[in-house]
Amino acid sequence: MKSYRRELWFNLPQRMGFMNITPQVEECLKESGVKEGLVLINSMHITASVFINDDERGLHEDFTKWLEGLAPHLPASQYRHNLTGEDNADAHLKRQVMGREVTVAITGGRLDFGPWEQVFYGEFDGRRRKRVLVKIIGE
């Protein structure tokens, strides 16, 4: 069995945003040489997310609006976590809703997606470098 590990680094300029990272994951898969197996893609930061969904701008705007409604950034004083000097309690909550990681089957050397599925990096406390782990195992 083969094993492959790579870290992808991102620095989104805005506080919250979404980035399609499917091409980077496909590049990792090609480098790994795995034809049958699994790929785990996970955020290594507690204020960012990895998830699978459709690459459609309106949907991403809906996510932004929905998440801000669930856990608004302001006023920062509404969160006990921010009493520590941080201002990112909302980002922790947004990450909890959107999830930490995804696992995708690899079949015939390709990501085995359903229609329209893509892998996304979700950022909820941006403007600094963060990493995503890609771990591939298989034959």
Model confidence over 18-66: pLDDT tens digits? Answer: 999 999 999 999 999 999 999 999 999 999 999 999 999 999 999 999 9
Question: Vertex 27, ends 24 and 33: CA angle to 5°?
Answer: 145
pLDDT tens digits for range 85-116: 999 999 999 999 999 999 999 999 999 999 99
Q: What is the pLDDT of residue 85?
A: 94
Reading across the β-sheet that carries 130-138, which strands appear in turn?
2-10, 130-138, 37-43, 101-107, 110-111
The CATH code for residues 2-138 is 2.60.120.460
- pLDDT band at 8, cuts 50/70/90? very high
Residue with tokens 């492959």, as numbered in its chain? 4
Domain range list for the chain: 2-138
Whole-model pTM?
0.96
